[in-house]
Every structure is written in C-alpha cells, then in structure tokens.
Structure 1
Amino acid sequence: MTARVLERFLPDEEASALFGEDIAIALRPGDVLALKGDLGAGKTTLARAVIRALAGDPALDVPSPTFTLVQSYDARIPVHHFDLYRLAAADELEELGLAEAAQDGVALVEWPERAGDALAGAIRLDLHDSGEGRLAVMTGPDEAMHRIERSFLIRDFLNRSGEQRAHRAFLLGDASLRAYEAITTAGDERRILMNAPERRDEPLLDSGRPYSHVAHLAQSVSASVAMARAMRARGFSAYDIYAQDLPAGLLLVEDLGDTAFLSPEGEPIADRYLAAARLLAAIHGADWPAELPVAGGVRHVLPPYDREALGIEVSLLTDWYMPFMAGRPADREERAGYMACWERLFERLESAEKNLVLRDFHSPNIIWRAERDGFDRLGLIDLQDALLGPAAYDVASLALDARVTMPEALERQVVEAYCAARAEQGPFDRAGFDEAYAICAAQRNSKLLGIFVRLEQRDHKPFYIRHLPRIRAYLNRAMRHPVLAELKAFYRAAGFLTGDEV
C-alpha cells in the first residue's frame, strides 16, 4: 500500500502559524510529530505555532529547547517539545522520557534523525526550502494522516469561504461524531465551525442497520442546515449559516454567544428555565411540516420518533448500564420482560400529542443572551437530531436537565410554565400531557443511563459517569406516575432503582 503523503506550501511566517493551528487541531494524545529540516528551515517556528495553538495562547513564550533538550507545557493536550540536536546517542531518549511523554500527551521532536529507529511510528513533517517559502511534506500512520487531511480540508473550506487568514481553535467535541472550532476572522469576528462528516462504517445491529439509522440520528449536516433555517424562519434564535459544504460535512455558522445557561457556579437559574419552557411552548405552537428545505432543491425529512427509535434507545440500559451495575449482561428473559414493559408504554404514547422534538433541549444547548429581548434571549444550538414525536419529550429534557440537578420545585415550575403557555394557545389535554411526560421522562433517563456508561466504557469519556446518581434520581421521580407502576416494579426487582437518590 502506498503511504499517504500530504503537502502544503507555506509562503511566509503567517502561513506557518496558521499551518501550526491546522496541525494542532488534528493532534491526539499519543501522537509524536517528528519535525525534520535543515538549520533555519523553520522547525522551531512551526513547533512554537503548534504549542501556542494547543495552549490557546498566541503570546505564549516558547523558547527553543536546544540546551534543555525538552520543554513541557500545560495545554488542551499536554505537549512536550524535544530538540535532539545535542543528543549524544539514541539510547539517551529513555532518560529524556520521550515514551512517557507520548502516552498521555503530544511530543514534538526536532532533529528526529538522531533518534535512530525510536520514532518509527511518528508523524513525519519535512520542511524544504523552495526559494519562495517552505514546502511541508507529511507522512505517517493512516489514522493520524486521516485526521490531518481532514484538518487541511477544513482550512481549504475556510479559504473558499473568504476567510483566508482565519485563526482556528478547538472548541469542543460532543458525545457524538461532531466537533466544533472557534474561528476568528481577519476582522476579529468570531464564527463557529461545525465539523460533522457523514456517518459511515458504523457497526450493524441484529436488524442489519446501524444504531444511528434505527434511532433516526442525523446522517449529515443537511439536517443542521434545515433545522437552523426553519427555526429562524419562524422567529426563533438559531444560528445563521455563512458557508456550507454539505458533502464534506462542514458549516461555518454564527456564534450565538458564550454565556452559559447555568449560573457561574453551575446551578440552574429559575427565570431562565421558565423562559425556556415558554419558548418550547411557542415552538410547539408553530407549524412544522415533515419536510424542510436545505439548499438547491435538497430537502430534509423530519423522521418520526417511532417505537423502533424509542425502543433502541431504552435498550442501551440493558446493553450497557445493567452489565455496569450488576457485573453481568442481561439474559434473554430479562431483556424480553424489559422490552415488553416498554412496548405497552409506547402504545400509550401513540395517542399523545405529536410535535417537534429537539431531543436534547437542555442547558448545554441553550445560550443565554441577557442583552436581547423575548425569545431572542435564548439561542438554540444542536438542532440536527430533531424529529416528530411526543410533545412532552422536550419538556422532560428541560425540566429534568441531565447536566445539572433540578430541584423538584423547579421541575414543577418548568412544567407549569409550559402547560400554562400551551393552554393560552388553545385547548390543551393536561392529563394526557402528564402521562406522556412521565413516560418520556422515564424513557429519556433510562436511555441516558446506558449512553453515559457507553461513553465511559466504549468511547473513553469518563466524565459522563458522574451524572448517573442524578439520572437515577430523575427516574425515581418519573416512576411516581401510576402509568409506570409495572416498569417501576421491574426496575426495583433488577436493582436499577434503590431509593430516592439525589
């Protein structure tokens, strides 16, 4: 197999700095970047750009480690800068701690040729003087080169969008395949880059389809485009889209602000939650056709939140949470009994009001904009997985926010604010809503127990585990409704719920 080779021309120092950002975005813990080139080729300049980008500090002092041999920096990913020019022998690498540095961080190595075969698996970047600048030539392991190639694709997208001198900074990666960057334009304006390649190569379930298809998760950024434009057309504050490359899964969108929905201490602010409840009621009072325009005749179909999707989500509890809690997988009889309980509840949901479901309508996806008025104070993000299903679902998502402990009194206030606003719009079946709310709350929090364990065990994202006690407490609250009596008994017998946890 021919090794993948990537080349970039760097005409000046600014281009080298931007190139360093492109590399930094792509690096992951465990990467070793070997920088090769003659004296004066720009190795230290490029290493400095990568380190500053990882640290998020363009003014960070990054001296050459020629005499110290290694310099370490606290950054988004710990980064260690090695200069082997003065290395007497390759076996001295062990004393420098190169192997240890690369275990949980990134190692940048100048003069890698002095390391012998110790850097055989490194990403190699050769800098050549072309007379009019530098030619950077990169080779390395396929997985790392795929990441770097994707990063270069994003830079090309920004250039085509008129942002040739834009600076990039890692913003966040969420629980899905999506990642986000903060883009600062040459005019010092801030944009958000959504990096969401089309889903591919997912493992297949027994049905022969991947989980994302069964659960009706967005397959491409077309869903984000459709939902953002539909929200804005109806007067709600979703992000404007400045540039898009649908086949590549790239969007350059408006930055709605950076004020979190929660207090600086991470606590829920009642007035904001009540405003979000009334906003949700207004969204449910709008018209939501099953098909929404995207661009150039392309349309996005809002999928149904059907039994299959609801069911595959709650199966995450037996697939992931039960082995985590009980130390063993659920047997066939337990799975059958569990799903039989849910099928009867899904049957009851069939008669519940159907409306737009954003699916994750909670604090991480709402931006508070205090300087605005009315619903414009609430900026909405993470819209791509919307579908048509029980209207009560998003109310449960908000009132039982998975990322912050919602006191029961505030939960009731949120529900009452939503119901009062819906009643002002016209006839509203409160009893039917209360039953659907309980079922949706139980479904969502059962799903979350499984998802959070899966994120920890399969995706190596352990910080989600800390939410489990809160999610179990929410389940206990939902189980008070008589419609969930059978499911509650099953959960108690299985040991999933042991009391009113807080």
Structure 2
Amino acid sequence: MTQLPEGLHDFLRTAGWGDAAIHPLPGDASFRRYYRLRAGDRGAMLMHAPPPHEDPVPFLDVAQWLAAHSLRAPAIHHADPEAGWVLLEDFGDDRMRDWLDARPEDEEAAYEAAVHALADLHDKPPGPFAPYDMDTYLGEVRLFTQWYASAAAIEVDEAGFEAAWREVLEPVVKSPHNGVTVLRDYHAENIMLLGGRPGAPQGLIDFQDALVGHAAYDLVSLLQDARRDVDPGFADMMLETYREERHRRGVDLYGGAGDFIGEYATLGAQRNTKIVGIFTRLAKRDGKPRYLAMIPRVWKLLEADLDYPALRPVARWFDANIPADLRGAHGGEIA
C-alpha cells in the first residue's frame, strides 16, 4: 500500500477536497509526485513538489502566464507552495505518447497540432522568464562529462569540450530567432490531447523550467524525442510545417539573418548531449536504471546532429575523446 505524504489530508480539507478518493500515479524523473482525486462527479490532480528538492512556485508562475496568453495550462484550484502542494485541473488520460502507441495512424495529425501549438506560443511576447544564455547551455552540456564520461571511466579533455561548445553555440545565442518562451521539455509524454482526438487542443504540462530562448529548442524536444522514436523524414516534414506556419504569420525562417536549420541541429546536439548526462545521473545517483535503455536512442540523434557542418568543432571533440564502442547503438553500455 502506498504511503501518502504527511500533510496531504490537511491540504485537501483546506482546499475543499477532504472527502476525495486518492489514487497515486507513477512517478517521473523528478521528486514530484501526482495523485488523481475523485469526489462524486468532481475530479482533479494533486501535485506534490516538496521543498527543498522541488519548488512549485515556477510551475505556478508559468501556468499563470500561459493561461493569461490563451495557452492551455491546467487551471490551478488551490496551492500551498511552501509545503509543495498544488491542486490542479485533471487533463485526463489522453497523453500524446500513449495515444500514438495505440493509434499510430494518428501520428501526423497529433504532431501537426503540436507544431501549430508551438507557433501559437512563439507568436506571443516572451514571458517574464530568465534567458537561455551561454552559461545555461554550457552548464547543461557539462552534465555529459560529469556523469556519462565518469560512469564510462574515461578521461576527457574538459577544457576542449567547453571551448568547442562555446564556438558552436555563439551563433545560437546571438541569433535573431531568440526571444520566445521555451518550455524546455515539450515532447509526446508532456502533451495532453484534450477532447479525445489527435488534432484536439494541446494541454501543456511539465513547463516549470521555462526560459526565454531560441524558437528551435522546443521543436528539438518534440522531434528529437529521447523517449519515443520519430522517423527522421517525418521529423523533417514537421520541421518544415513549423517553418511554413511561422512564414504564414510573417516570420521568415528561410533566409535573411540566422541559419535556422543549422541552429536547430546545434540545439539538437546540445540537448541530446545534456540528456545522455541526465539519464546517466538518474541511473547512477537516483537509482533509476530504466533510463539507461533510452541512451542509445539519444546517441543516435546526437550522431545525426553532429554530421551538420555547424557542429564540426564538437564533432571533432567527440571523435578524439569518446571511443566508438561508447557511442551510437552501444551508448547505453556504461559501467
């Protein structure tokens, strides 16, 4: 029987849900936990994001901003941020990932809706969030050397690693395609299909780490998915759908200043490098070995990004520092 956290019943009584039936849901990669509530014909979701490991305030702030700009974050019914409790709207069970596992024929409609939702988000003024700057990008890629290289028991040139990433990320940081809200974890497991159909409005979750950054970043999250195979040709088609939609709205992603496709590849390499480190950390530090099985998929995506000319400095570093048997299809076989 699942042990419920201390303070849960007190919070629910204060929120007017003291008589609710409580159904724990499976955990994710964080310390957050979720519970589905039912009280008669009412339903809600309870999030527990306990300090000091978690802080629900950014979630509440971003949810408020999204709702104020006509984007579909869950409504907040009641919250006690200091204790880590948030009572929110239940978006149901139609998660995009699960829907497509059962109905692969709906893939194009679901991804088109997700791409159009990003175009809507990028039409809005950027939120009052911190910038996705060089220090943030570099701090993320360092997770690779801190965790993956360490777990693989290999010595690497850390100074060269940072220098290579600074070189390839400089055009991204200075790109005219910056200046939109970046949700940072926008993929098929964090998109809810409201209304029970693939083209339905997109319900957004797991957005508490939002920053202001490059328009390609959330496309990378969606189309280079660490947890779900997305055919490269299909991903290219959806990337083009996004560019066409932004063009229709008066934003040129085809010519002029900034190499949007090159910057997309650079952000893909940056994100995938970070994820290899994060998944290793989840396995080694947090006792969640299931994430190791996803690393080969991420390596495959990373290798494809590194083929792009803009990534040559980083590609040369990988060639010099990471043995072939620890890359690609064998990338999950670490100590």
Contact 2:119 2:245 in 1 (8 A): yes
User: C-alpha offsets along residues 378-422 of structure 1, whole Å, 9 cap, x if unaligned?
Assistant: 111111110111221111110111111111111101211111111
How far 1:226 sits from its partner (Å)? 1.7
Match of 2:295 in 1: 468
Q: What amino acid is the match of 1:488?
A: A
Establish whether residue 228 from structure 1 lines up as the match of residue 52 from structure 2.
Answer: no
Aligned residues with identical type, % of pairs: 33
475 and 286 in structure 1: CA distance in 2 versus 1, 3 angstrom threshold: same
Q: Does 1:250 align with 2:88?
A: no
Give, in angstroms, the shift of residue 493 of structure 1.
Answer: 2.3
Partner of 2:44: 191
What displacement does 1:233 show? 2.1
Q: Match for residue 49 of structure 1?
A: none
Say if 2:137 is the partner of 1:284. Answer: no
Instruction: Quote how far apart the aligned CAs of 1:165 are.
Output: 0.8
RMSD: 2.2
**TM superposition shift of 1:270:** 2.5
Change (3 A) 1:163 1:496: farther
Instruction: Please tell me whether residue 336 in structure 1 is matched to residue 159 in structure 2.
Output: yes
How far off its partner does 1:261 sit? 0.7
Structure 1: distance between partners of 2:112 and 2:133: 29
Amino acid at match of 1:287: P
Partner of 2:182: 357
Structure 1 residues 96-146: Cα deviation after superposition (integer angstroms, max 9, x where no partner): xxxxxxxxxxxxxxxxxxxxxxxxxxxxxxxxxxxxxxxxxxxxxxxxxxx
Using the TM superposition, give the Cα deviation of residue 372 of structure 1 relative to its aligned residue in structure 2, in angstroms: 6.6
SS of the residue 2:82 aligns to? coil
Partner of residue 68, structure 1: none
In structure 2, what is the equivalent of residue 346 of structure 1? 169
Which whole-Å CA distance do the structure 1 matches of 2:198 and 2:264 have between them? 29
Matched, 1:403 2:227: yes
Q: Which has the higher helix share?
A: 2
Q: TM-score, normalised by structure 1?
A: 0.61
CA distance 1:497–1:240, change in 2 (3 Å)? farther
- Contact 2:91-2:192 within 8 A present in 1 as well: yes
Among 303, 307, 311, the residue aligned to 2:134: 307
SS at match of 2:189: helix
Q: Contact 1:472 / 1:497 at 8 angstroms: preserved in 2?
A: no
Asked if the contact 2:246/2:253 (under 8 Å) is kept, the reply is no
Q: Who is 1:264 aligned against?
A: 101
The residue aligned with 2:149 is 322
CA distance in structure 2 between the partners assigned to 1:266 and 1:343 by the alignment: 42
Unpaired runs of 5+ residues, structure 2, are 331-335
Q: 1:496 to 1:182 in 2, by over 3 A?
A: farther
Residue 18 (structure 2) pairs with residue 164 (structure 1) = yes
Would you say the 8 A contact 1:476–1:497 is kept in 2? Answer: no
Deviation, 1:500, is 6.3
Deviation at 1:497, TM superposition (A): 5.7
SS of alignment partner, residue 356 of structure 1: strand
Q: Which residue of 1 aligns with 2:194?
A: 369
Cα deviation, residue 169, structure 1: 1.8
Classify 1:372/1:363 alpha carbon distance in 2 versus 1 (closer, same or farther; 3 Å): closer
Using a 3 Å threshold, how does the CA distance of structure 1 residues 196 and 266 change in structure 2: closer, same or farther? farther
In the superposition, relative to structure 1, how do residues 152 and 447 fare at CA in structure 2: closer, same or farther (>3 Å)? same
Which structure shows the higher strand fraction? 1
Deviation of the 1:377 alpha carbon: 2.3
- Pairing 1:176–2:30 present: yes
Superposed, which structure 2 residues align to 1:47-196 within 5 Å? 151-185=5-39, 187-196=40-49
For 2:22 and 2:11, how far apart are their aligned partners in 1? 12
CA 1:167/1:471 → structure 2, altered by over 3 Å: closer, same or farther? same
- TM-score calculated relative to the size of structure 2: 0.89
AA at the equivalent of 2:320:
A
2:111 to 241, 263, 273: 273
Higher relative contact order (CA 8 A, sep 6+): 2
Match of 1:241 in 2: 76
Residue 162 of structure 1 and its aligned partner are, at CA, apart by: 0.7
Aligned 8 A contact 2:130 2:211 in 1: yes
Distance 1:373 1:320, change over 3 A: closer
More off after superposition, 235-244 vs 257-266: 257-266
- 1:372 and 1:226 map into 2 onto residues whose CA distance is 29
